[in-house]
């Protein structure tokens, strides 16, 4: 296994695909522009246009997906010998305000923010594509590569399913991605073979029954108490009906009922998420959750209406592709630049691609080394150390150049 080399400076041999300073600065500016103009899932028209324009400027031929946003761009042609390596980025933002107070590139769109790092992911794949396109022109790209800019990752069950229906995996043998991790220092990545994220579904419940005066709860369904018991008892019941190692967990995000202190309401609503570490337990989860809710609702004579929205399965990293990413990072930055990471309870629709082709996702460190404050994902003050862009680009280019990767 080896990497091709090229002379970047007189007397200094570096790995092919090292990021030139001018491109490094351009990519930081591109990322900041995306950060200032976040767009929600399936509405990423400006983002799609910006990516398309830059790829076309480089002489490439990107294709917008049939769903209207997102695009793919191939570098090199399929030869029937080596399958294509896909580099995937997600391009959508979150419906939350950007709360960074001192930041020249904070969001200009009210209640919209790139608070999950998708602007970084997009810039990394764009930068890798520009570098690999130049290497291809020089005859130094040993395999064809597909750039995949996917919309609507934050919209269950994920834009990946729509992208797959558009044929983005045709001819692809492996797929790789990164996800920003504010717990890992910039300059490093986290890797794990096997499950690295969890399954995530959405749960919505309506409870109904005769209401009445709080002086006479025995004549009502007492929906507030019924809702409270669903909140506390359903997670406990669910956790006892599967192997505890599966990590099946129900967590509530919204509970609403009633308008007056002395009136027992006729309607209550609850919503939350169902997360699971194990894919087999995830497949059983809808039946288990439904049964637990009905059991508690019936106890209080409440009528329950359940909307269980299937989300995404766990991202299960292929062992071989994980080693490809490890080898690529070690070749770029040495063995100390890679750390083992744990399985998280977060969901990621990258998992849908792995139902079809082997692949792996790395955690891309975005914390400034030495910084004690962790700006967590999905928070309005989230930001990334922009040196991580260079790390991601060079990780992907090294993975594409490694001879034994596919």
pLDDT at 270 over 70: yes
pLDDT at position 70, please? 98
pLDDT digits (tens, 9 = 90+) for 87-98: 999 999 999 999
Q: What is the mean pLDDT of residues 371-386?
A: 90
Q: How far apart are the first and last CA of the chain?
A: 11
pLDDT at 36 over 90: yes
pLDDT at 279 over 70: yes
* Residue 234 banded pLDDT, cuts 50, 70, 90: very high
**Residue 319 tokens, joined:** 């062992």
- Which residue, 243, 208, 182, 207, is CA-closest to 379? 182
- Check if the beta carbon of residue 125 is closer than 8 Å to that of residue 350: no
Q: H or E segment at 53? A: helix 45-57
pTM of the model: 0.89
DSSP letters spanning 225-258: HHHHHHHHHHHHHHHTSS-GGG--EEEEEEEEE-
- Check if the beta carbon of residue 209 is closer than 8 Å to that of residue 303: yes
* Residue 35 banded pLDDT, cuts 50, 70, 90: very high
pLDDT at position 102, please? 86
Q: What is the mean pLDDT of residues 243-266?
A: 95
- Check if the beta carbon of residue 249 is closer than 8 Å to that of residue 275: yes
DSSP letters spanning 93-136: -BSS----SS-TT--SSTT-B--SSHHHHHHHHHHHHHHHHHHH
pLDDT at position 15, please? 63
CA 326 from centre of chain: 20
pLDDT at position 3, please? 42
pLDDT at position 373, please? 80
* Residue 166 banded pLDDT, cuts 50, 70, 90: very high
Angle, nearest 10°, between helix axes 118-137 and 21-36? 150
* Residue 1 banded pLDDT, cuts 50, 70, 90: very low
pLDDT at 176 over 50: yes
Q: Tokens 């995996």 label which residue?
A: 169
Report percent pLDDT > 70 for the chain: 95
Q: Is the peptide bond before 157 cis (omega within 30 degrees of 0)?
A: yes
pLDDT digits (tens, 9 = 90+) for 76-85: 987 777 889 9
Residues 6+ apart with CB under 8 A from 231: 252, 255, 270
336 burial via Cβ count (<10 Å: 0-12, 13-18, 19+): exposed
pLDDT at position 5, please? 41
Q: What is the mean pLDDT of residues 364-368?
A: 97
- Check if the beta carbon of residue 126 is closer than 8 Å to that of residue 147: yes
* Average pLDDT value over all residues in the chain: 93
- Check if the beta carbon of residue 199 is closer than 8 Å to that of residue 347: yes
DSSP letters spanning 297-333: HHHTT-EEEEEEEEEE---EE-HHHHHHHHHHHHHHH
Residues 328, 332, 333, 334: what is their CA dihedral angle, to the nearest 10 degrees?
60
Q: What is the mean pLDDT of residues 200-220?
A: 95
pLDDT at position 78, please? 76
- Check if the beta carbon of residue 136 is closer than 8 Å to that of residue 142: no
pLDDT at position 403, please? 60
**Residue 364 tokens, joined:** 């891309």
Q: H or E segment at 92? A: none
pLDDT at 156 over 90: no
Q: Which one is predicted more confidently, 346 or 29?
A: 29
- Check if the beta carbon of residue 296 is closer than 8 Å to that of residue 229: yes
**Residue 10 tokens, joined:** 């007189």
pLDDT digits (tens, 9 = 90+) for 100-128: 988 999 999 999 999 999 999 999 999 99
């Amino acid at each position: 296994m080896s990497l091709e080399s090229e002379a970047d400076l007189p007397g200094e041999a570096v790995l092919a695909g090292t990021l030139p300073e001018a491109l490094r600065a351009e990519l930081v500016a591109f990322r900041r522009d995306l950060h200032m103009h976040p767009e929600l899932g399936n509405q990423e028209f400006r983002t799609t246009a910006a990516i398309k324009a830059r790829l076309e400027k480089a002489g490439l031929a990107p294709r917008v997906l049939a769903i209207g946003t997102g695009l793919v761009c191939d570098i090199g042609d399929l030869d029937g010998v080596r399958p294509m390596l896909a580099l995937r980025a997600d391009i959508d933002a979150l419906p939350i305000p950007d709360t960074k107070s001192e930041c020249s590139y904070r969001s200009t769109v009210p209640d919209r923010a790139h608070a999950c790092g998708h602007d970084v992911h997009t810039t990394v794949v764009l930068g890798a594509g520009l570098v690999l396109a130049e290497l291809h022109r020089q005859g130094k790209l040993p395999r064809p590569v597909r750039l995949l800019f996917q919309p609507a990752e934050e919209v269950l069950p994920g834009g990946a399913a729509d992208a797959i229906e558009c044929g983005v995996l045709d001819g692809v043998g492996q797929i790789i991605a990164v996800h920003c991790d504010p717990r890992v220092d910039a300059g490093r990545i986290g890797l794990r073979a096997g499950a690295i994220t969890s399954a995530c579904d959405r749960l919505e419940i309506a409870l109904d029954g005769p209401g009445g005066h709080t002086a006479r709860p025995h004549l009502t369904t007492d929906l507030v108490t019924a809702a409270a018991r669903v909140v506390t008892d359903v997670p406990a019941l669910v956790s006892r009906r599967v192997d505890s190692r599966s990590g099946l967990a129900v967590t509530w995000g919204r509970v609403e009922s009633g308008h007056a202190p002395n009136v027992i309401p006729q309607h209550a609503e609850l919503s939350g998420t169902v997360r699971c570490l194990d894919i087999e337990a995830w497949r059983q989860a809808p039946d288990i959750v439904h049964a637990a809710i009905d059991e508690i609702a019936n106890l209080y004579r409440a009528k329950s209406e359940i909307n269980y929205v299937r989300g995404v399965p766990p991202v299960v990293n292929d062992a071989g592709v994980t080693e490809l990413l490890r080898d690529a990072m070690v070749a770029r930055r040495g063995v100390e630049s890679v750390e083992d990471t744990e399985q998280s309870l977060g969901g990621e629709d990258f998992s849908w691609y792995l139902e079809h082709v082997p692949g792996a996702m790395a955690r891309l460190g975005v914390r400034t080394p030495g910084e004690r404050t962790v700006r967590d994902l999905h928070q309005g003050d989230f930001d990334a150390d922009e040196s991580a862009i260079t790390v991601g680009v060079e990780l992907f280019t090294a993975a594409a150049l490694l001879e034994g990767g596919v």
